[in-house]
Amino acid sequence: MHRSRHAFTLVELLVVIAIIGILIALLLPAVQAARESARRTQCNNNLKQIGLALQVYHDTQKRFPPGNISSTPATGFGGAGFSVHARLLPFIEKANLKDLVNSEVAWDDPLNDVAMQKWVSMFICPSDSNILIPPGAGGPNNYYANQGSEIIAGVPWSPGNVGTPNATMPPPSGVFYSGSTVSFADLKDGASETAAFAEKVTGDFNNGISTLQSDTFRPGTYPSTPDEAVDDCRAIDVTDLSMQGYSNVGAPWIRSYHSTTSYYHVETPNKRSCMYPPGRIMTTANSNHPRGVNVAFCDGSVRFIADTIKLEVWRALGTRAGKEAFSDQDL
């Protein structure tokens, strides 16, 4: 007796392959969503650790770290241009890295090159996976300090800048700006309603390429108000390479600068960034998370802010004492 052996037909194999393909297509978005959720959680945790470090720094110094010191010595930092991040190193368990920073010279002094090149995992959001920072540019950073809701790139008046274009502009309203000495007592809007840090993606480091998300564009105008700055920035053709301003965004973390460690609450999240030299800027928070950015507040809390937030509410979160009124439903 002979038993006949049945094999799969070609049609049956094709049906099975098609079913497997459909299942993969259905599962892949769920897997990608789960991965992004994990990355966003890690990003949230990084900001929480930075927020906690701010609290400890304040307990020690009785104020928050200054956004920048151009020439006036600060506690422990006599050199120029160091970021908030550099000042927070001892408070995020990076004392060894802090020891590599020579704070008596400028941030870009050769004595600080070793420290500058270090990558600090707490300063990097896992969702910014396509980091294009070239060798030698320094360690990357995705968490920027809040300068406020104005467009000035420095203090509006001091003995050193009388007569400069920003001399008659409103003073910085944020927490971290040049020469700032902000403390909890100065947060009249409340620590839980004042932004401290927000996310920003790193750049392509190439002005020959227009990258809408990360580039800082240069409209060639000179706005006098935040509204004018937003209108001018929205109006430009970003594919026109003559509008390129600055692409070296996100490094090095040791430097206090609008393209490395500082952002503004002038435009809502995930919109364009633009520069208006001399001395005016709107560096905008953004992220690779869908539909918003993580923001750390001065009380140490972290909230996800949708990019559909009203402009007036976003600007209110950027001020420390603006006396603006809004509810949690506005966030």
pLDDT in tens, 44-85: 999 999 999 999 999 999 999 988 754 444 344 445 689 999
Q: Which two tokens stand for residue 99?
A: 């020891």
Q: Which two tokens stand for residue 160?
A: 């050193």
The pLDDT value recorded for residue 45 is: 95
Reading the chain (331 residues) residue by residue, the pLDDT tens digits are 555 556 667 777 777 788 887 777 776 666 566 677 788 899 999 999 999 999 999 999 999 998 875 444 434 444 568 999 999 999 999 999 999 999 888 899 999 999 999 999 999 999 987 788 999 999 999 999 999 999 998 666 565 566 677 888 888 999 999 888 999 999 999 999 999 999 999 999 999 999 999 999 999 999 999 999 999 999 999 999 999 999 999 999 999 999 999 999 999 999 999 999 988 999 999 999 999 999 999 999 999 999 999 999 999 999 999 887 677 767 7
134 burial via Cβ count (<10 Å: 0-12, 13-18, 19+): exposed
d(CA 122, CA 42): 9
Give whole-number Cα distances, 68 to 64, 107, 147, 155, in Å. 12, 11, 10, 10
d(CA 177, CA 156): 11
